[in-house]
Amino acid sequence: MATVTKDAAPKPAGPANGRENADSARRRGGPRGSSDRRPGGQDRRPAEPRVVELPDQVTVRDLATLINISPINVIRELMNNGVMANINQQLDFDTAAIVVSGFGYEARPKQIIVDTPAAEETVIDPATGVAAPARPSTLRQRLLAKEAADMRERRPPVVTVMGHVDHGKTSLLDAIRKTNVAAGEAGGITQHVGAYQVEHEGRKVTFIDTPGHEAFTAMRARGAQITDVAVLVVAADDGVMPQTKEAISHAKAAQVPIIVALNKIDKPNANPERVRKELAENGLTPDEWGGDTMVVPVSAKQRKGIDDLIEAILLVAESMDTIRANPDRPAIGTIIESELDKTRGPMATVLIQNGTLNLGDSVVVGNVPGKVRAMFDFRGHRVKKATPSMPVSILGLSDVPAAGDILEAVEDDRVARALAAQRGSSRAKDTGPSRATTLDEFFAQAKAGKARKLLLIVKADNDGSLQPIVDSLLRLNTPDAEVSIEIIHRGIGGITEGDIELAVASGAVILGFEVDMDTAARRKAELNKVDIRTYDVIYKLIEDVELALKGMLAPKIVQRTVGVAEVKQTFKISKIGVVAGLIVRSGVAQRNARARILRAGKEIYSGKVSSLKRLTEDAQEVRQGFECGLSVEGFVDYKPGDSVEFFIEEEQRPA
């Protein structure tokens, strides 16, 4: 909260005029002795003005309280300076500073320090003089590092379950819930809030119920990593599949231990040994084979091995000294999910990561202030407090926050509003979302001594191409190389939204060989400025990476989408051929652009625009909402419902 300090006290008033000074001060609305003069014109104001610390934003009411005068006098002073305001009007720092100076105060900025992961701290390496990320880097690690050793208590581990589709992730979560959560409770779970806790021999485990590894990484991309342990579900009758490999990559990038739940062991065609071999080939060597990955056989359908799985989670958690928190401090947590309820208003599910959240606490979530009016546990029961690793649903926020935003309990409503306004101003100035590193940026960082490792995601059309590419890239790592390459994910098939999420979260570059990219992934890549390079010649891919490491990378040709249209019907025109009748859905259709034809979200052709007409006239561009006729060189197979993306190619030179 803003505070007032006194740098110099006013000279004391004599006995004869003390009452007169107080009365005159009250009439003017100023503090005692703030602007009175001695007989003969001698100024009785202190030699140095008193200091008031102000936040970036403050209401008229709060400002009046800070300097102990009537809000009416603040409004009057604002009017004298040409500003019309009411008692609840928000004033910026400069305006508030002018007001308080009229009452004998000097304004200074109030620095509000919060434990948010907005920017990763850096330290200077004394040997090289190079700035590098400081460790610990995740929010939970930074929170723990600030607590005294005697204040750190063990908390329940937080677990995320991931795996390939149809391998039994949902069934396993249901089995855990029914076996542990709803036991002895009439009616079972009455409300599901995105996370829940189970208890095993007096010890608790928190499970985060996410749609999958993409949501897991999307939250980590926002700096809100909350998982302590990842459980990878693998079907014993199916083995390691593409999504399994993606989940492994996401968990390793998050640097969390992985436990494998070997599901469907009850099936007659289950082959656990084959699955263990495939896991070892993907870097997860089972502990039975001398590795450090626990593989627990389970059957979600028959509810077998569930207790063994929870026991394994607790064993891994006990070996990690970082799963601790200080419950005796104001709460800090992460929003898991949020919604606007028609009857209750904004609701949010928050996982408490440090401290204790109490009913009635003033909070700020991102740039959303609020007060905890009601709090529910994962069963839907009202609770009065939430301790570390406990998920709760809260009411009382002024707006719906975003998943991944950080909740912090603060001193009072005034601080919550001021901090929310300060963050809102900062977000407005933000240049955009987090994004991955480009090859050009990597070279610039390496040249300045700020980068030592290039992270890559490699996708290819088949395994016969993928393995030679990976082997060739890894051969670029030499003992005397100043920078090295790490392939954090490799896969077969097109570039997906999951690949984009992983690139944003880890700062990786995506390399594709003979693969395409769906529309949703392309748009997400453009939004986050992810560097995606596709090739049809292997040696060119290897050469580009090698040149990037050496700082000799040639200019990159990038595609920028300028408009999207939909084919409504087709026409056959003599001397021209088949023409598509379009309506522009977004952006502009440009005559000098190239066009990409997509059917059911997949690209089927790409070529130069040969003709663009508006009614019967040639047009250079057609804007959103208007219809036009289009022909693309070399293509006539338009179908109603096809999408047409107009894009231009630009040369992007190395930084």
Q: Measured between alpha carbons, how far is 133 from 131 in angstroms, rounded to an integer?
A: 7
Residue 213 pLDDT class (50, 70, 90 cuts): low
What's the confidence (pLDDT) of residue 32?
39
pLDDT value, residue 537? 85
pLDDT surpassing 50 at residue 411: yes
Q: What is the pLDDT of residue 50?
A: 83
Q: With contact defined as beta carbons under 8 Å apart, do 310 and 229 qualify?
A: no
Q: Which range is most confident: 69-73, 244-248, 312-316, 411-415? A: 312-316
Is residue 286 located within the same domain as residue 300?
Answer: yes
- What does the mean pLDDT of the chain come to? 77
Asked whether the predicted pLDDT for residue 87 surpasses 90, the reply is no
| Per-residue model confidence as pLDDT tens digits over 229-249 | 989 999 998 888 877 887 888
Q: What is residue 447's predicted lDDT score, i.e. its pLDDT?
A: 58
* Res. 354: pLDDT tops 80: yes
Whether residue 488 is contained in a domain is answered as yes
Least confident piece of the model among 30-34, 365-369, 402-406: 30-34
Q: Say if residue 638 is in the same domain as residue 569.
A: yes
Most confident of 112-126, 140-154, 419-433: 140-154
> What is the arithmetic mean of pLDDT over 430-456?
60
Would the pLDDT of 35 be above 90?
Answer: no
* pLDDT at residue 268 is higher than 70: yes
CATH code for position 179: 3.40.50.300
CA 44/CA 423 separation, integer angstroms: 40
SS3 420: helix
Residue 403: pLDDT over 80: no
Give the model's pLDDT for residue 512. Answer: 92
Comparing 245-249, 354-358, 458-462, the range with the smallest average pLDDT is 245-249
Q: What φ, ψ does residue 456 adopt, rounded to 5°?
A: -130, 145
More confident residue, 624 or 616: 624
Same domain? 251 vs 157 = yes
Query: Do residues 199 and 292 both lie within one domain?
Result: yes
Does residue 283 lie in a domain region? yes
Name the domain boundary from 73, 89, 109.
109
Is the predicted pLDDT of residue 33 greater than 60, yes or no?
Answer: no
Please state, in angstroms and rounded to a whole number, the distance separating the CA atoms of residues 379 and 190.
5
Residue 128 has pLDDT above 60, yes or no: no
The residue among 292, 324, 356 that closes a domain is: 324
In a domain, residue 135? The reply is no
- Work out the pLDDT band at 361, boundaries 50, 70, 90: very high
> Is the residue at 336 inside a domain?
yes
pLDDT of residue 217: 58
Q: Is residue 142 part of a domain?
A: no
Same domain, 573 and 624: yes
- pLDDT in the model for residue 23: 43
In angstroms, the Cα distances linking 154 to 150, 199, 318, 322, 400 are 11, 15, 9, 9, 31
- Which span out of 39-53, 246-260, 601-615 was modeled with the highest average pLDDT? 601-615
- pLDDT at residue 289 above 70? yes
Q: Of 195, 206, 230, whose CA–CA distance to 156 is shortest?
A: 206
Residues 607 and 626 placed together within one structural domain of the fold? yes
Give the model confidence (pLDDT) of 520-560 as tens digits.
888 888 888 888 888 988 888 888 888 777 654 455 677 88
- Structural domain contains residue 115: no
Predicted pLDDT of residue 397 = 92
Q: Report the pLDDT value the prediction gives residue 134, as an integer from 0 to 100.
A: 39
Task: Tell me the pLDDT band of 263, cut-offs 50, 70 and 90.
Answer: very high
Average pLDDT for 268-276: 91
Best-predicted range by mean pLDDT (16-25, 49-58, 76-85, 287-296): 287-296
One domain, residues 633 and 498: no
200 and 270 belong to one structural domain: yes
Confirm whether 139 is domain-assigned: no
Containing structural domain, residue 388: 326-429
* Mean pLDDT in residue range 585-592: 91
Q: Give the pLDDT of residue 129.
A: 38
Q: What is the CATH number of the domain that holds 336?
A: 2.40.30.10
146 in any annotated domain: no
Do 301 and 202 reside in the same domain of the chain? yes
Closest to 485 (Cα-Cα) out of 451, 461, 459: 451
Residue 174: pLDDT band by 50, 70, 90 thresholds? confident
Q: Domain boundary residue among 554, 584, 600?
A: 554
pLDDT-derived band at 279 (thresholds 50, 70, 90) equals very high
Q: Give the 3-state DSSP-derived string for 429-491, with helices as H, strands as E and coil as C.
A: HCCCCCCCCCHHHHHHHHHCCCCCEEEEEEEECCHHHHHHHHHHHHCCCCCCCCCEEEEEEEE
- Show Cβ contacts of residue 472 under 8 Å, excluding neighbours closer than 6 positions: 538, 542
For the cut 80, the answer to whether the pLDDT of residue 179 exceeds it is no
Mean pLDDT of 389-399: 91
- Give pLDDT, residue 49: 61
pLDDT tens for 418-431 read: 888 776 654 444 43
State residue 319's pLDDT score: 85
Structure confidence at residue 358 (pLDDT):
95
For the cut 80, the answer to whether the pLDDT of residue 145 exceeds it is no
Total count of domains within the chain = 5
| Residues 342 and 390 both lie in one domain | yes
Q: What is the pLDDT of residue 441?
A: 67
Q: What is the pLDDT of residue 144?
A: 61
Residue listed under structure tokens 């396993």: 172
pLDDT at 388: 92
- Count CA atoms closer than 13 A to 621's CA, side-chain side: 14
Same domain assignment for residues 421 and 457: no
Tell me what pLDDT residue 563 has. Answer: 93
Average pLDDT over residues 105-132: 49
- In this prediction, residues 318-346 reach a mean pLDDT of 86
For the ranges 17-21, 72-76, 220-224, which has the lowest average pLDDT? 17-21
Q: Which of 208-212, 228-232, 489-493, 495-499 has the lowest mean pLDDT?
A: 208-212
Beta strand pairing call for 258-263 and 229-235: parallel
Give the confidence band of 105 by pLDDT, cuts at 50, 70, 90. confident
> Does residue 195 share a domain with residue 102?
no
Tell me the CA distances in angstroms from 532 to 8, 361, 487, 513, 529, one per residue in order: 62, 45, 15, 11, 9
Two tokens, residue 142: 């930074």
